Amino acid sequence: MSELFPRATPRRHDEDTLQRSVVQYLRWSLPPDAEFYAVPNGGQRHAREAARLVGLGVRAGVPDLALLHAGRPLFIELKTPRGVVSSEQRQMHRKLDYCGGLVGVCRSLAEVEEWLRDAAAVPLRARLTVGGGTYAGYKD
C-alpha cells in the first residue's frame, strides 16, 4: 500500500565522506611547503542565498580542493565512482589548466595519492597502502 506522502529518499553524502578522508590524508601527507583548502561551492541552496554567493564571487565548476605547492596551483575534483563531471566543471578545468593550474579528477583516496605523486609531483610525507596495514604513514 502506497503512502499518501511518501518519505523522501535520504540524500547520500558519499562525496562528502570521500572529501573528509582526503582532507585528513592531506593534513598528514603534504610537505611543509604546501598548503590546501576546500572550496565549498556545492550543495543545495535557496535562490536568494545562491544569488548572494554569486555576487560574492562563487563560480560554477570550481574544483572541491585547491592546493599550492612550489608556486604551482593544483586542484582536485572529487567524484564518487558513479559521479559525473558536469559541463561547467569541464569548462572550469580547461580554464584552470590554461591559466597554469593542474586539475585532477579523483574517485578515491588512492587516486588522490597517485595523482599528487605522479601527475603533480608533490613529495608526500606519507603513503597510503591499501591492504598493507599502513594508512597515512602510520602502522596499524
Average pLDDT of the segment spanning 16-33: 95
- What is the average per-residue pLDDT within 41-60? 81
Question: What are the boundaries of each domain within the chain?
Answer: 31-124
pLDDT at res. 137: 42
Of 123, 115, 112, which Cα lies nearest the Cα of 32? 123
* 52-91 residue pLDDT tens: 888 888 888 999 999 999 999 999 999 999 999 999 999 9
Task: Determine the Cα–Cα distance for residues 62 and 59; give it in Å rounded to an integer.
Answer: 6
Name the pTM for this structure.
0.80
Fold classification of 31-124 (topology level)? Trna Endonuclease; Chain: A, domain 1 (3.40.1350)
* Per-residue pLDDT tens digits for 98-135: 999 999 999 999 999 999 999 999 999 988 865 544 44
Based on its alpha-carbon atoms, the radius of gyration of the chain, rounded to whole angstroms, reads 18
